[in-house]
Amino acid sequence: MADYTTNRTALDTINIVLKRLGINAVSNLDDNNIATVATELLNDVLDDLSDHGDWPQLYTEVTAVSISSVGEYKLDYNIKSVMEIAWNGQVSPLQVVSTEDIRRLQRVGSTGTPRHMAVVKVSAGKAPYVRVHPVPTSADSFNVAYYARPLTIRATAGDNTTSIPFPSRAVVQGLYANMLLEENGGSQTQDVIAAYRLYSTIKEESYNRFTSDTGTDVQFVPTGGFGK
Q: State the SS3 of 41-92.
A: HHHHHHHHHHHHCCCHHHEEEEEEECCCCCCEEECCCCEEEEEEEEECCCCC
Query: Averaged over 200-226, what is the pLDDT?
Result: 65
Whether the CA torsion 191, 54, 166, 18 is positive or negative: it is positive
Q: What percent of the chain has pLDDT over 70?
A: 89
| Chain centre distance of CA 99 | 24
pLDDT given at position 106:
94
The mean of the pLDDT values for the chain is 90
What are 17-40's pLDDT values in tens digits?
999 999 999 999 999 999 999 999
Decide which of 92 and 211 is more confident.
92
Neighbouring CB atoms inside 10 A of 73's CB total 20
Decide which of 160 and 123 is more confident.
160
> Please, which pLDDT band fits residue 83 given cuts at 50, 70 and 90?
very high
pLDDT given at position 209:
81
Model pTM score: 0.83
What number of CA atoms fall less than 13 Å from residue 190's CA on the CB side?
A: 0
- Answer yes or no: is pLDDT of 1 > 60: no
For residues 130 and 95, give the distance between their C-alpha atoms in angstroms, rounded to a whole number.
12
* Phi, psi (rounded to 5 degrees) for 168: -65, -30
Show me where the domains of the chain are located. 10-55+150-211, 67-139
For residues 56 and 171, give the distance between their C-alpha atoms in angstroms, rounded to a whole number.
16
Query: Averaged over 187-208, what is the pLDDT?
Result: 94
pLDDT given at position 213:
53
> Please, which pLDDT band fits residue 212 given cuts at 50, 70 and 90?
low
pLDDT given at position 221:
42
